[in-house]
Amino acid sequence: MKRNPTSLDQHHNTMNWGLRIILLYTAFVGGMLFLVYKCTQQEVDLVSVDYYAQELKFQEKIDRMNNSEQHEAKLAFVYTPEQSNIQITFPENSTPKNTKGEIVLFRPDNSKLDLKVPVDISEGVQNISTENLTKGLWRLQSTWSTDNTPYYQEERIIIQ
């Protein structure tokens, strides 16, 4: 027996489509609100906290890098994973008396992990322990001066 559609059946189908549209719209709005909430909870780190102040000193950094090239005042970095150590050898004319500066172990993805170490070449070289450093990419940013000549050198090291 074949059934004839009645106006009640047509009204029921219309309600189903209307309900489906409302549910779809509600799910979309709920999803968008969830994404907005997740975005506001995400921590956004700039490369450094004082980024703009550092940008103004950029020419000074370029001059320091040029000094390193012209005076052949390059640092030698040796990372030894077995000993959890970075050994930094300064140029021959560097002595504890005439050399001052700072070495920054810079973590590009998390500024909270950055580590600043004063230059200490009392034994001719400087050793930095990597025992407590997170594995991954680090940048060693060395800013130092010998006999009042400023230098800068940056190296990339992957801590394992």
Confidence of residue 13 (pLDDT cuts 50, 70, 90): low
Give the pLDDT band (50/70/90) at residue 10. low
Q: What is the mean pLDDT of the chain?
A: 83
By CB atoms closer than 10 A (0-12, 13-18, 19+), residue 115 is middle
Q: pTM, whole model, 2 decimals?
A: 0.62
Q: How far is CA 80 from CA 21, 54, 100, 107, 117, in A?
A: 63, 31, 25, 19, 18
Strand runs labelled E in the chain: 76-80, 85-89, 99-106, 115-118, 125-129, 136-146, 149-159
Q: pLDDT, tens digit, for every residue of 20-65? A: 899 999 999 999 999 999 988 877 665 566 767 777 778 888 888 8
Torsions phi, psi for 64 (to 5 deg): -65, -40
Which residue is listed with tokens 């907005």? 36
More confident residue, 94 or 152: 152
State the pLDDT at residue 47: 58
In sign, the C-alpha dihedral spanning 125, 131, 134, 136 is: positive
